[in-house]
Amino acid sequence: MVTRGFTGKGRTGGEDVRIPPGQHLVDDFPVLSAGPTPKVTPEQWSFTLKVGPKPVKKWAWDEFNALPQTKMTRGIHCVTAWSKLNTAWEGVLIDNILADAGIGEPPTPYMLAHSFDGYSTNVPVKDLTNGKAMVALRYEGKPLSPDHGGLARLLVPHLYFWKSAKWINGLQFTQKDEPGFWELRGYHIYGDPWREQRYTHD
């Protein structure tokens, strides 16, 4: 399978240069974590795809890195009101993870992302597929730093950045839209920055 994202073409590469309502631009890259940064070595790292409770495929670090890699340059929008445009990422599209697991039609409409720090977040499958999201392995040409989710993080750039789970270790198909860490603590179940879906009742 050949997939290709936007490859650093900046403003002609399909990047949306608007900023969602209530957001301001920052030049630095803030770190926001609910707890300490987990230490995960390549030897300890693995990624598990589950359908409900049932594991369907598990990749070791080397196996995961052998999957097709795609570049994606996008704006990111944190619910604490900072945005950053044209951030350049590289990693494995969720489409390519599902394809490698032999999953054609998604078995359920929702997914939960799980992380090494116990964090989780829910995203509809349609927001993860068709080139919309990836498990990012590189940022601005370099391996992800530990504070920003290295070795690997989810990147769902069109939703608020809490949906982009750092230190991801798996994706799970769920029958229902099951709230994750922040969604259980008052944040919006979907989190569209363009509609300012910050909190549960927004």
Ligand X SMILES: Nc1nc2c(c(=O)[nH]1)N[C@H]1C(S)=C(S)[C@@H](COP(=O)(O)O)O[C@H]1N2
Note the residues at the interface with Mo ion (CB under 5 A).
Answer: 32, 78-79, 162
Other C-beta atoms lying within 10 Å of the C-beta of residue 119 = 20
Please answer whether residues 155 and 164 qualify as being in contact, where contact means their C-beta atoms are separated by less than 8 angstroms.
yes
Please answer whether residues 144 and 38 qualify as being in contact, where contact means their C-beta atoms are separated by less than 8 angstroms.
no
> Shortest CA distance to 91 belongs to which of 37, 152, 148, 34?
152
Site string for ligand X, 75-114 (x = CB under 6 A): ---x------------------------------------
Q: Which does 165 bind (CB under 5 to 8 A by kind): Mo ion, ligand X, none?
A: ligand X
Q: Which does 95 bind (CB under 5 to 8 A by kind): ligand X, Mo ion, none?
A: none
Q: Which does 31 bind (CB under 5 to 8 A by kind): Mo ion, ligand X, none?
A: ligand X
Please answer whether residues 49 and 111 qualify as being in contact, where contact means their C-beta atoms are separated by less than 8 angstroms.
no
Residue 47 touching ligand X (CB under 6 A): no
Q: How far is the CB of 34 from ligand X (least distance, A)?
A: 4
Q: Which does 193 bind (CB under 5 to 8 A by kind): ligand X, Mo ion, none?
A: none
When binding is defined by CB under 6 A, the residue of 83, 167, 171, 183 that contacts ligand X is 167
Return d(Cα 160, Cα 199) in angstroms, integer.
Answer: 11
Q: How far is the CB of 12 from ligand X (least distance, A)?
A: 26
Return d(Cα 46, Cα 127) in angstroms, integer.
Answer: 23
Handedness of CA 17, 18, 20, 26 (dihedral sign): positive
Residues in contact with ligand X by the rule CB under 6 A: 30-34, 78, 115, 117, 119, 148-149, 161-162, 164-167
